[in-house]
Structure formats: C-alpha cells, structure tokens
C-alpha cells in the first residue's frame, strides 16, 4: 500500500470526533472502515460523506472480544490490510461515587472499562495481525485530559483513559522494532453533538472559559491532530501523549 492510499480503521466512527477523523483520512485519499457499535444510520451517513471510494462500515460491540476480531478481520479483508488504527470509540456514564447505587457503580465500571480500554486493546491486537512492518503503520488512541485532571462524575472514564495512555506507551515500546508507531491524543471538551448539553447555557460558558482561548475545539480540529499523529512525519512521537485542550488543563 502506498502512503497516499492507506487502509484506515476508525472505531466509533459514526459520529463526532470519529466521523471527522474518517472524513480527514478520506480527504487525503485513504480508504476508511468506519466502525459503529449501535448507530447504523449514523454510520451510513458518515460513509456517504467520505470523499473518494473504497470505504465501508463495520459493526461490533467492543465489549465482545469475538465481535471485535470479526470486525477488524472484515475491515482488513475489504481494505487489503490495515495501515492505521484509530481507537476513538468511548463511552461516558455519570456515576459519582457519592450519588449512585452499588449496582449502577458496578455496571458503569464494567461497560466503561470494557469499551474504552479492553475493547481498544483487543482492536489493537487484532489490527496488528494485518499491519505492515517497516515504518508505515500507526496506532492512534484517543484519550482525554480526564486521565490527568480526574473525572469526579465518571471516575471509570478517567481511569479508563489513564490506562489507555499507559497501554499505548507499553505497546509503543513493543512495536517500535516493527516500525509501528503508537501515540495517544488527549483532548478536553470538543464541540460535538455528544457534548452539546454540557456546552449549552452558563455551564457551557464556564467550560469555554477554562481555556485562555475561551472556546472548545471543533471535531475537525481534533481530527487533524489525529491525522498528523498517523503520518510518517510523526514517527518520533511514538509513545507520546499529546495534550490537546487549549491550555484548559496543564500538567508537568
């Protein structure tokens, strides 16, 4: 495969950041497999919005390891391999420890970890079986600033994203010898339909004010950062976690 015609799998690609990522890769001439979990109509709409040809949609509940392998294998068969995996799919369930039942607490942790962390790890293992060696393959994980600042309303989310970053660093050490670079992007709030309720009204003003730019990024801005991390020029960023939050949260 040439660099101008890469095979790209984007998990959670039916909406928001994932859909924007799929469109950015397609605009470069790449062929994209758009994964979705439970929104086939949104996935079809994203597919229809992609420039070029050779794209497809694939489905899997990321909590099911068998379904994950089947989905990745289907994408690889259709695309002729996988050059880039973007682990974008994620869920956020409110479950503050002081205000939820024990049953709600357990369910939120199970679903969040299974999708945000274990599902991503399984997708990476499965994608690796189809990746070329020698410097062109990339894995980009979409993490969160919540991994570092904490998520009191959804502690499982913060923990899953912190673990996702550590996972990315671990496999970056393993896969570098194969010429495969692994990075993690850690955005804050992003202007998507998923965040619309949080960004509305006075609460939204307070969120935007967290950044000295007094705004949140578009999904397209985040997508451009993902595409850069997947590029040949970003190989030396392997193992890195790139904060992408407009200085709304700073860490040493």
Tokens at 188, concatenated: 């804050």
pLDDT of the residue at 202:
87
Summarize the confidence of residues 45-57 as an average pLDDT: 98
pTM over 0.85: yes
Confidence label for 1 from pLDDT (cuts 50, 70 and 90): very low
**Contact between residue 44 and residue 66 where contact means Cβ atoms under 8 Å apart:** no
100: pLDDT strictly greater than 70: yes
**Contact between residue 242 and residue 186 where contact means Cβ atoms under 8 Å apart:** yes
pLDDT-above-70 percentage for the chain: 98
Angle at which helix 16-27 crosses helix 219-229, to 10 degrees, equals 60
pLDDT of the residue at 194:
80
29: pLDDT strictly greater than 60: yes
Q: Which residues are catalytic?
A: 157
Nearest to 40 by CA among 66, 59, 64: 59
Confidence label for 4 from pLDDT (cuts 50, 70 and 90): low
pLDDT-above-90 percentage for the chain: 93
Q: Is 81 helix (H, G, I), strand (E, B) or coil?
A: coil
Summarize the confidence of residues 38-48 as an average pLDDT: 97
Summarize the confidence of residues 66-83 as an average pLDDT: 98
CATH 3.40.50.720 fits 3-244, yes or no: yes
Give 130-157 pLDDT, tens digit per residue. 999 987 899 999 999 999 999 999 999 9
Q: Is the dihedral of CA 228, 230, 234, 240 positive or negative?
A: positive
pLDDT of the residue at 195:
85
* Distance in Å from the first CA to the final CA of the chain: 39
Summarize the confidence of residues 192-203 as an average pLDDT: 87
Summarize the confidence of residues 96-119 as an average pLDDT: 98
54: pLDDT strictly greater than 90: yes
Give 5-26 pLDDT, tens digit per residue. 899 999 999 999 999 999 999 9
Instruction: Determine the Cα–Cα distance for residues 191 and 177; give it in Å rounded to an integer.
Output: 37
226: pLDDT strictly greater than 50: yes
pLDDT of the residue at 201:
84
Per-domain boundaries in the chain? 3-244
């Amino acid at each position: 495969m040439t660099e101008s015609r890469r095979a790209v799998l984007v998990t959670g690609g039916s909406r928001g950041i994932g859909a924007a990522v799929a469109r950015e890769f397609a605009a470069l001439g790449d062929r994209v497999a758009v994964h979705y979990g439970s929104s086939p109509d949104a996935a079809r709409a994203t597919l229809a919005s992609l420039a070029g040809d050779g794209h497809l949609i694939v489905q899997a509940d990321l909590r099911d390891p068998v379904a994950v392998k089947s989905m990745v294998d289907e994408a690889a068969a259709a695309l002729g391999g996988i050059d880039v995996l973007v682990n974008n799919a994620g869920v956020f369930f409110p479950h503050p420890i002081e205000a939820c039942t024990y049953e709600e607490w357990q369910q939120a942790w199970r679903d969040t970890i299974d999708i945000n962390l274990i599902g991503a790890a399984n997708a990476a293992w499965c994608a690796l079986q189809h990746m070329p060696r020698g410097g062109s393959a990339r894995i980009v994980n979409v993490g969160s600033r919540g991994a570092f600042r904490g998520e009191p309303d959804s502690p499982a989310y913060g923990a899953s994203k912190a673990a996702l970053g550590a996972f990315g660093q671990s496999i970056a050490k393993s896969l570098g010898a194969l010429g495969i670079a692994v990075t993690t992007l850690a955005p804050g709030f992003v202007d998507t339909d998923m965040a619309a309720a949080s960004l509305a009204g006075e609460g939204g003003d307070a969120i935007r004010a967290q950044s000295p730019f007094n705004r949140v990024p578009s999904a397209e801005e985040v997508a451009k950062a993902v595409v850069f991390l997947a590029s040949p020029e970003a190989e030396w960023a392997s193992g890195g976690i790139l904060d992408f939050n407009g200085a709304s949260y700073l860490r040493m």
